[in-house]
Amino acid sequence: MIKFFLIIILITLTLTDSIEEYSDPYSECESNFFASIPPKMYSGNVALCKNGYAFIAYDVDMKNPALTAYYWKKETLYGGREGFKLDTELEAMGIAQAPVDSSCWSQDWNRGHLKPSDGSSYNLTKGGPWDMTYIMSNVAPQAGTFNEGSWSTLEGNVVNWIQTKNNPLYIITGVAYKDRSNPIRRADNIAQPDYYYKVICDPVARQSAGFYACNLPDSCQEDTKIFRTVAEVETLAQLTLFDTLCNKNSVDESHWW
């Protein structure tokens, strides 16, 4: 009997130590989620909370972020650019990243921000929100003409809405693949997403909208103009992104632009 209780005590101590040492990115990044409810992640993704400025689900196998969740507010919308850098948090974990200088990157294939830098340059300090948008865990290959064309227009519409309404938006930007088991691979084994998507939630009016387009130079440019329900985007991504609290099964285009 004594031996049995000793075993129970040892197991309890082991579990306690494990709990105390575990850092929960979901709890640390709770302010980045609408209604404190995080999006789901793919199996094998690594959850990263970037000092409360953004939540990143990093897709280890793809060497890309699967999604980034964040809030944008009128007072945070400024411009500016910085150099890209490796994510030191992933380096400490021994997790491979896309090299900053990989031949994957070019005019044809840009480093596409999932959380754009424009919404974060109100704070330029090292390790701050702007600095964190230039880490490699926040970028994925994006067709250059797509990045600089219709995708840029979509992000401009989001910015203009926030500035006009003076209202924050909860945003998740992500990438998706036609076949996650066999994606297109570029240099350094970096996966090329087949789609980029963005879902937005007005936390005040509880209205939402979704957008996506194929990640190709020209053929899908007009698709970012199509309003979709968040539920449709979730079907594409095969992930639950929003709770039903933000009316994800319908979209009122008149609420947006």
Q: Is 249 part of any known ligand binding site? A: no
How many CB atoms are located within 10 Å of the residue 87 CB? Answer: 21
Tell me if residue 255 is catalytic: no
What distance in Å separates the CA atoms of residue 111 and residue 108, rounded to the nearest whole number? 10
Token duo for residue 249: 């099964």
Given a contact cutoff of 8 angstroms between Cβ atoms, the answer to whether 227 and 250 are in contact is: no
Residue 212 phi/psi, 5-degree rounding, is: -155, 160
Given a contact cutoff of 8 angstroms between Cβ atoms, the answer to whether 186 and 158 are in contact is: no
Question: Per DSSP, what are the bridge partners of residue 111?
Answer: 141
Active-site entry in 113, 115, 186, 198:
113
Using CA atoms, how far residue 62 sits from 96, 148, 154, in Å, is: 10, 23, 25
What distance in Å separates the CA atoms of residue 237 and residue 193, rounded to the nearest whole number? 11
Residue ranges in 48-197 assigned as alpha helix (H): 88-93, 129-132, 144-148, 150-165
Given a contact cutoff of 8 angstroms between Cβ atoms, the answer to whether 200 and 209 are in contact is: yes
What distance in Å separates the CA atoms of residue 202 and residue 255, rounded to the nearest whole number? 10
Annotated binding site for Mg(2+): 147
Active-site residues, by number, are 113
Annotated binding site: 147
